[in-house]
Amino acid sequence: MNIEYYHASRFGNGAKVAEEFRRQAALLGATVNVHHIRDTDPKRLASADLYVFSSPGQWGKPIKKVRRFLSELDLPVGTRCAVLTTEIAPRPDKETGALPTEEEQAKWQRVRPIINELLQKAGLARIAEDKILVTEIRGPLEDGWEAKVQSFAEQVVTATAGAQRQ
Ligand SMILES: Cc1cc2nc3c(=O)[nH]c(=O)nc-3n(C[C@H](O)[C@H](O)[C@H](O)COP(=O)(O)O)c2cc1C
């Protein structure tokens, strides 16, 4: 199984996540090639059984270069892909100490919904999505991030192997 992984890490956290994904997927027998999108022509991606797209969040969206990259993809309709973003951990309210609910977060945080809209427009079939959190703007990654990446790798490798058997 061949997976092509495209990320747009600026401070290195997303690059670490990509490398951990590559390591975990390799343990499951998959070959993962990791690329930064700045080195990639979105119209000429290497062929793959699965693509993984990853972006840091910025002002509630995926960064602009990722939005442009995804809007220029030229892959066959139905191509399988997965999304793994890096996003800032929600902060507790200064007065109440309560963390924002999913609903409250969704008002300003639209990183994955925007990626998903762009993938849908490109005709791709998204099989999984997740986010890995950073605890401060430039990192570090949240505690336990490796286990989250491991379970994401297991999920997408198993689903892709299942689709190949059909
Ligand atoms: C100017 C700026 C704005 C940001 N805005 C958001 C945001 O709206 N939502 C979010 O989840 N993360 C936001 N972040 C944090 C990024 O998610 C974080 O820097 C990134 O995931 C780290 O990954 P990287 O090291 O691979 O670049 C912002 C970071 C910067 C520098």
pLDDT in tens, 85-109: 999 999 999 999 999 999 999 999 9
Of the options 3.40.50.360, 3.20.20.70, 3.20.140.10, 3.30.70.20, the CATH number for the domain spanning 2-165: 3.40.50.360
Q: Which residue has the higher pLDDT, 117 or 162?
A: 117
Are 82 and 33 in contact by the 8 Å Cβ rule? The answer is no
CB of residue 58 inside a 6 A radius of ligand 1: yes
DSSP secondary structure string, 94-136? TTT-PPPPHHHHHHH--HHHHHHHHHHHTT-EEEEEEEEEESS
**pLDDT for the residue 166:** 80
pTM: 0.97
CB of residue 60 inside a 6 A radius of ligand 1: yes
| C-alpha 1, offset from chain centre | 19
CB of residue 65 inside a 6 A radius of ligand 1: no
**pLDDT for the residue 47:** 97
pLDDT digits (tens, 9 = 90+) for 25-81: 999 999 999 999 999 999 999 999 999 999 999 999 999 999 999 999 999 999 999
What are the structural domain ranges in the chain?
2-165
CB of residue 138 inside a 6 A radius of ligand 1: yes
Residue 88's beta-bridge partner residues?
Answer: 134
